[in-house]
Homo-oligomer: A and B are copies of this chain.
């Protein structure tokens, strides 16, 4: 296996498989098949088998996959068999919603800080966190060696926040601001913008 050669589109499906396996496990299921998993995620059984086989032989002909074993393997591949610390930049509605979100802890993530540059927000609470001054963001993130961040500031401010995050040593950014970001090679960006997701669907509607 050469990890560098596995297409990103396959990597992108692994978290979806892991999430579906977690839901099966929560229901008390112990084993599954590529057919059953495929029905849960809307991907063909053949594609699932092909994707998973990129990383090794995790299932058995006839008996399928052990759910706990496959979950362990996927967590290991995705490196979420540990907890990654995250910071949030932007304490607006979305920043607050994420700071209060309970869904990260069993997926490999933990929010540790939230920043804003609005003096009326600094010192206030968001979820269990005290909102910190964005002016101290670079030193705070660097000192804590946090590698992941979520940007929830308005679009015009997003690039300068991203630049500071990169300066602070952040290597992965989940951007909620509705704008594309320029980052150096080696820094990863994913985007969450409801309007682009919606526009991708309206194309198909009448």
**A interface residue numbers (CB < 8 A to B):** 8, 11-12, 14-16, 18-20, 23, 39-42, 77-80, 84, 86, 93-94, 96-98, 100-101, 103-104, 107-109, 147-148, 150, 155, 171-172, 174, 178-180, 182, 188-190, 192-205
Closest Cβ–Cβ distance, residue A91 to chain B (whole Å): 12
Give this chain's copy count. Answer: 2
**A195: which of B8, B109, B201, B204 is its contact (CB, 8 Å)?**
B109
Contacts of A188 on B, CB cut-off 8 Å?
Answer: 201, 204-205
Judging by beta carbons under 8 Å apart, are B195 and A11 in contact?
no
Contacts of A39 on B, CB cut-off 8 Å?
Answer: 182
Judging by beta carbons under 8 Å apart, are B200 and A11 in contact?
yes
Judging by beta carbons under 8 Å apart, are B197 and A190 in contact?
yes
